[in-house]
Chains A and B, each alone.
Chain A
Amino acid sequence: MSDKEPILKVKNLKTYFKTEDGIVKAVNGIDFDLCPGETLAIVGESGSGKSVTSLSIMRLLDTNGYIPEGEIIYKGKNVTKMSDSEMRSVRGNEIAMIFQEPMTALNPVFTIGEQITEAITLHMKMNEEDAKTRAVDLLRKVGIPEPEKRVDQYPHELSGGMRQRAMIAMALSCNPSILIADEPTTALDVTIQAQILELMKDLQKEFGMAIIFITHDLGVVAEMSDRAIVMYGGETVEQGDIVNIYKNPRHPYTWGLMNSIPRIDIDTERLWAIPGVVPSPLNFPKGCKFSNRCFLASDKCKTDHPGLETIENDHFSRCWHIDKLVEEVKKVRAGDK
């Protein structure tokens, strides 16, 4: 972790949704800091609250979503208390976002150029002509061939990878200090994925923005990020340096996720799988939210909700059985060999 002053501090963030079945606590107390130029990964399954966290930062929640508690401090100002117009000057300008589906995230009835220049003319007060020149430059930077031609094309004339590149160009158009990437490679095939990740790393070096990388793919996390937050049921279950999380996972959920990825260096007959599925947000167990799927779960786990414990400097885990996990893992690993 860098010693620089964080540009984004999220403190005890809670995001709830009003639904017909009751209040859904999609995010229930998340804390993290983001320093300039670093990459933070937020990892979790569908429904873990990782996308909601990012949408909360941008204040782009659906109308039934609200933030009852917590602070999101961007450069000393609380995002949750900003006026709508202040918020708009942050969106796209200081914090930009790219989405999962490049197929649907671009408006089909406007050209790529029109959609990129829109943000440039809005935030950078450029005239149309300069904005278009900048759009072409950006498209070239994100590796789109023939940018002069592409800028006047419509999204349907571009492939998925090209569209995601155009989305990245759009997000970077106003030199944001934070880029939130919500599963940017999930909808793409593997070779294109690698290209897009490479591109994002290069652009980060060039533009120096911090990245919040949201994904369910731990392989991608290792490649991209400095630190990671593992989310489950709207909470942080493990948080820390990426190397620590990989080498010494200290939460059964993280450990399960790691083991469910096929590895080229270990020969296993069967892949590990976390039993069950993520429960509906209204039906999480009372104690530890992971207790109904955890192989270490005891009676205590079912009744008492664990807090986020410090394991070592800057590595946290939310589990009653951190020590037991270390032993179990040794046993399982020994059994594998």
Chain B
Amino acid sequence: MPLVLIGVTLIVFSMMQILGPDKLLSAYVDANKLDKISIEEMEQLKDKYGLNDPLPIRYGKWLGNLVKGDLGWSIVGKEPVTQAIIHRLPYTIELALYALIPILGIGIWLGIKAAIHHNSWIDQLIRIFALVGWSLPDFVFGLVIILFFYVGVNWFPPQNLSNWAETIVRSAEYHQYTKFLTIDAILNLRFDIFWDALRHIIGPIITMSWLWWAYLLRITRSSMLEVLRKDYIRTARAKGLAEKEVINKHAKKNAMIPVVTVAGNMVIGLFMGVIIVESIFNRTGIGRFAARAAQQLDYASIMGSLLFSSVILIVGNLIIDISYALIDPRIRLE
């Protein structure tokens, strides 16, 4: 895993070099100032920040800064990139966690239901539902949600909070314990704010979870169908176990093995998916930060987001491997 991380930093660093030293300077100096200075001054600045040094030395320095948590200045965030990411992270994590509930709940539950009632009308209905879900891209579905539920009935407005709530949240009396809007609202006993935050987050949750639960459903269904045909399921039935126990104990644990891979990749995918969803719903978070950084060619922020998502990817895969071993004794390490 450390090797993978070093590999990631190498790739990220190499990609930066495509931009050339002039652009790279914007990581250290305000872009407005850069426009006004002369070429000589620019060269001096490049020397000052070591942009004319040989590549390996610059990589070493960059890596050193990275270890210290210094990723440069974010134009979009108007603060250091690390700070910008840390400030936006809770919003994104909150959204991703909430989105997981319908994904895992509905996806796995419906998948198992469909498998048990294989080829019945329940199964057919669930399959049609999943197919529609899987075929609908989130950027289309998000706009549909906005059209109906914001423009139409004003149930699920965009952004993180309404303006009045935002003012209260930023005031001194309001304690931000976890930085999660909904949880902080409950801890501050401001149920009006909780309600407001909930209204703002439901649209993005539906949009984000829609595609993934449909996908998870299909995986769960086919995996469950396969397991239900296995000999050991017949053995379990031959023992006299009730059907409920056969399914919940013997079948489910085996059927979850492929689902874990997908679910793990899905958690990773959720963090990538926020780029679209947060942009559509105009929510503060890592995703919109990355999208805006890309639009404004704010390379330090782009690299920061890239590094961040690589870390999520690597950690996510590690968690997948660990949960594999927990479920399947055959891959447990001695």
Contacts and interface: CB of A to CB of B under 8 A. Distances in A.
Contact of B240 (A106, A108, A122, A167): A122
A99 B241 contact: no
Nearest to B234: A60
Interface string B229-268: 0111011111111110000001001100000000000000
Interface string A81-124: 00010001111110011010100111111110001001100110
B254 A99 contact: no
A88 B240 CA distance: 4
Nearest to B250: A107
B239 A170 contact: yes
Nearest to B229: A62
Nearest to A104: B231
A107 B330 CA distance: 12
B329 interface: yes
B327 A92 contact: no
A156 B232 CA distance: 13
Given A104-B231, A108-B254, A58 B330 contact: no
Contact of A97 (B118, B238, B243, B254): B238
Contacts of B230: 104
B192 interface: no
Interface residues of B, number: 21
A18 to B, nearest CB: 12
Which residue among B231, B235, B330 has the maximum number of chain A CB atoms within 10 Å of its CB? B235
B232 A105 contact: yes
B330 A122 contact: no
A91 B327 contact: no
Given A118-B239, A122-B240, A122-B241, A104 B330 contact: no
Which residue among B237, B243, B250, B327 has the maximum number of chain A CB atoms within 10 Å of its CB? B237
B30 interface: no
A92 B242 contact: no
B330 A119 contact: no
Contact of B327 (A99, A107, A109, A123): A109
A154 interface: yes
Contacts of A108: 232, 254, 328-330
Nearest to A103: B231
A60 B237 contact: yes
Contacts of A88: 240-242
A97 to B, nearest CB: 5
Interface string A123-145: 10000000000000000000000
A93 B253 CA distance: 25
Contacts of B234: 60, 99, 105
A111 B253 CA distance: 13
A156 B334 CA distance: 14
Interface in B203-243: 230-232, 234-243
24 contacts: A58-B238, A60-B237, A90-B240, A91-B238, A92-B238, A92-B241, A93-B240, A96-B238, A99-B235, A101-B231, A104-B232, A105-B231, A105-B232, A105-B235, A106-B232, A107-B232, A107-B236, A118-B241, A119-B239, A119-B240, A122-B240, A156-B330, A167-B235, A170-B239
Interface of B: 118, 230-232, 234-243, 250, 253-254, 327-330
Interface of A: 58, 60, 63, 84, 88-93, 96-97, 99, 101, 104-111, 115, 118-119, 122-123, 154, 156, 167, 170
Q: Which 10 A-B pairs have the closest CB atoms?
A: A92-B240, A91-B240, A92-B239, A107-B232, A104-B231, A154-B329, A119-B239, A105-B231, A97-B238, A88-B240
Given A91-B240, A97-B238, A111-B329, 11 more contacts: A60-B238, A84-B243, A91-B237, A104-B232, A107-B235, A107-B254, A108-B254, A109-B327, A109-B329, A167-B235, A170-B239
